[in-house]
């Protein structure tokens, strides 16, 4: 048994599929002699397509962002022309009979060994460039992998160091039943993806890739944070029972999709969905959400081969709005930086503290034309269409720190509206909101509320900034707890301030879908919660067992506790007594 961080609840059993940084076909042995020439041709075709892709991308980024930002793609193209690099891949295919994917994996290991130990920042940066190039090559080889890999038939447990958006795209529609990662936390990409799909996941399991191989039987317990590799028959039988209980309860709760979200004493709630795209919006409707509380547009950029233009963004935003429950969607502008980077927006300059550096609206301000393109696309997507149902669209700006930034954002939105009006392009009325995730903004919330139409609390970042602990660093992840006494105190002050002036406030961090946190937030006076679609049935069921008075009482009890551990222990006991039928999926 391995212990990690429980990031998505439930229990599942399946066959391990180990992902390193490059997708290697797990069912593929060494090449036969007659296959070598074809494999080299496959690599050369991927290299040619990558070069073409990079040239087109460089031109597009240069037009939309600038020459300096586009220069990174010239560096990547030069790597693809490097005779030493290409020669090594050819040699490994020719002499060792490795597949393209295996040769690329070996290439990455070779350069990591060469450069990773270097104290020279420039050389270490070259490793990141080589990794980007290898991932691009692999993307052109992934179609064949998806077609040929029989190892991914049946329930699959993906085991990886870290699961990136590009890797998720490459998994396609494979039957992924669980995710285990060495790195990451409750708010990592892997965690967000797992929760959006409603599958159990555990992160922060040190050394799991060394201890697991593709084909192993793996149990994932996303409630307790346990991972068991190749269990004996007795353990397997016990967990099969838990898996059935989890699946039965999940199926049972799915039937409440058409019921209103209402507490036991009749208080109506809004249960909204956090989404990454159209598929998640459709899932939100299927799970009974009343709207989309957070559309993370950065996943459009992260999984995109180039820079999405205005018309392309417009089409995608329209599809998301049309697919959202009640055609209601809050669209967050690009939240790149920290753990999410794209090369064309300056990944070349490394930062000691990227989470507190050049990211989110700070980065958008530096690329005003690029930023303006997204705002224009959102405004146009909000325009009513003939003979269509009404839309309710909100625009949300991440990582707002002070009043000056809000005024600057307002000016950019006005500029976009003036441009569209001058071009005679229809646009819709869009509410203007700030994401509250910087402690300074929480402290000054009363002075910021007059400049926004609504507030969305981004608890993922707020918690890590408040606790001065990187949420993706396993060494300090124990500090990033949404039920920490300091977090509860800050959240209550923000919710109270918003309610005092009747400014709509939503919590759209991952804690909104955690049952223990939900009742505490309800007790604070919060009535709008946005979460991964898969969590909506559970929270709706829990709400039906709780009164507002009960929630206020639990908040008062929590505030009397001095440690996070005691708060969580108290809430676990209370929730099991209030809603014992939810025991199979309550996170511990």
Please list the active-site residues.
189, 508
Tokens found for residue 168: 């998720």
Q: Where are the alpha helices (DSSP H) in 287-333?
A: 298-302, 310-323
Nearest to 511 by CA among 520, 523, 502: 520
Query: How far does Cα 571 stand from its chain's mean position?
Result: 27
Nearest to 295 by CA among 393, 163, 376, 399: 393
Query: What CA–CA distance (Å, rounded) separates 501 from 377?
Result: 31
Query: What CA–CA distance (Å, rounded) separates 363 from 366?
Result: 5
> Starting from the edge strand earliest in sequence, which strands make up the sheet with 217-221, in order?
2-3, 226-229, 217-221, 11-19, 156-160, 176-181, 201-203, 5-8
Q: Where are the alpha helices (DSSP H) in 506-579?
A: 515-524, 536-545, 548-560, 564-578
CA count, 13 A, side-chain hemisphere, 222: 28
Instruction: Tell me the pairing of strands 270-275 and 292-296.
Output: parallel
Question: How far from 404 is each of 27, 445, 507, CA to CA, in Å?
Answer: 56, 13, 23
Per the CB < 8 A criterion, the answer to whether 568 and 586 are in contact is no
Give residues with Cβ within 8 angstroms of 220, minimum separation 6. Answer: 11, 12, 13, 14, 157, 177, 178, 179, 180, 200, 201, 202, 226, 227
Please give the span between the terminal C-alpha atoms of the chain, in angstroms, as a whole number: 17
Q: Quick check: helix, strand or coil at residue 8?
A: strand
Q: Where are the alpha helices (DSSP H) in 449-547?
A: 459-467, 485-500, 515-524, 536-545
Query: What CA–CA distance (Å, rounded) separates 501 from 449?
Result: 8
* Most distant CA pair in the chain, distance: 75
Per the CB < 8 A criterion, the answer to whether 416 and 376 are in contact is yes
Per the CB < 8 A criterion, the answer to whether 99 and 24 are in contact is yes
Query: What CA–CA distance (Å, rounded) separates 201 from 479?
Result: 20
Residue with tokens 């009535």: 527
- CA 376, 379, 381: angle at the middle one, nearest 5? 105
> What is the full DSSP assignment across 233-275?
HHHHHHHHHHHHHHHHHHHHHGGGGGS--B-TT--B-EEEEEE
Nearest to 488 by CA among 510, 468, 463: 463
């Amino acid at each position: 048994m391995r212990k990690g961080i429980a990031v998505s609840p439930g229990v599942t059993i399946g066959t391990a599929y180990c992902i390193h940084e490059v997708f290697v076909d797990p069912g593929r042995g060494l090449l036969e002699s007659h296959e070598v020439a074809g494999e080299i041709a496959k690599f050369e075709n991927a290299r040619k397509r990558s070069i073409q892709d990079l040239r087109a991308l460089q031109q597009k980024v240069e037009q939309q962002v600038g020459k300096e930002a586009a220069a990174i793609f010239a560096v990547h193209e030069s790597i693809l022309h490097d005779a030493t690099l290409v020669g090594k891949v050819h040699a490994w295919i020719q002499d060792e009979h490795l597949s393209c994917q295996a040769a690329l994996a070996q290439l990455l290991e070779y350069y990591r060994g060469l450069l990773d130990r270097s104290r020279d920042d420039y050389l270490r940066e070259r490793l990141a460039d080589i990794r980007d190039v290898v991932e691009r090559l692999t993307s052109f080889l992934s179609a064949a992998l998806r077609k040929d890999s029989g190892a991914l038939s049946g329930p699959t447990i993906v085991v990886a160091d870290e699961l990136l958006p590009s890797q998720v795209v490459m998994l396609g529609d494979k039957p992924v039943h669980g995710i285990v990662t060495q790195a990451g936390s409750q708010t990592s990409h892997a965690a967000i993806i797992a929760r959006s799909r409603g599958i159990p996941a555990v992160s922060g399991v040190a050394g799991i890739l060394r201890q697991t191989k593709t084909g192993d039987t793996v149990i994932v317990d996303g409630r307790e944070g346990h991972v068991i590799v190749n269990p004996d028959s007795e353990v397997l039988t016990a967990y099969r029972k838990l898996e059935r209980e989890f699946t039965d309860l999940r199926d049972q709760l799915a039937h409440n999709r058409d019921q209103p979200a209402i507490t036991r004493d009749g208080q109506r709630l809004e249960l909204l969905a956090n989404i990454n795209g159209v598929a998640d919006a459709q899932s939100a409707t299927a799970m009974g959400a009343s709207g989309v509380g957070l559309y993370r547009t950065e996943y459009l950029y992260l999984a995109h081969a180039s820079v999405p233009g205005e018309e392309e963004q417009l089409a995608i935003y329209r599809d998301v709005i049309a697919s959202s429950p009640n055609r209601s969607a809050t669209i967050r502008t690009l939240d790149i930086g920290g753990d999410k980077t794209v090369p064309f927006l300056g990944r070349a300059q490394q930062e000691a503290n990227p989470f507190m550096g050049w990211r989110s609206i700070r980065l958008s301000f530096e690329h005003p034309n690029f930023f303006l393109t997204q705002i224009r696309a959102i405004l146009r997507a909000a325009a009513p269409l003939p003979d269509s149902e009404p839309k309710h669209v909100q625009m949300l700006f991440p990582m707002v720190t002070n009043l000056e930034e809000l005024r600057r954002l307002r000016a950019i939105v006005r500029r976009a509206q003036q441009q569209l009006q001058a071009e005679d392009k229809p646009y819709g009325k869009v509410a203007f909101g700030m994401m509250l995730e910087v402690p300074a903004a929480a402290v000054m919330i009363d002075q910021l509320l007059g400049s926004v139409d609504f507030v969305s609390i981004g608890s993922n970042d707020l918690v890590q900034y408040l606790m001065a602990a990187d949420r993706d660093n396993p060494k300090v992840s124990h500090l990033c707890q949404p039920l920490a006494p300091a977090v509860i105190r800050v959240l209550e002050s923000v919710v109270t301030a918003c309610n005092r002036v009747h400014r709509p406030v939503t919590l759209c961090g991952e804690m909104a879908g955690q049952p223990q946190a939900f009742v505490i937030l309800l007790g604070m006076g919060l009535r709008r919660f946005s979460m991964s679609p898969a969590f909506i049935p559970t929270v709706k069921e829990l709400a039906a067992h709780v009164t507002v008075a009960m929630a206020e009482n639990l908040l008062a009890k929590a505030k009397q506790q001095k440690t996070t551990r005691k708060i969580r222990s108290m809430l676990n006991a209370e929730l099991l007594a209030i809603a014992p039928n939810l025991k199979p999926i309550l996170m511990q």
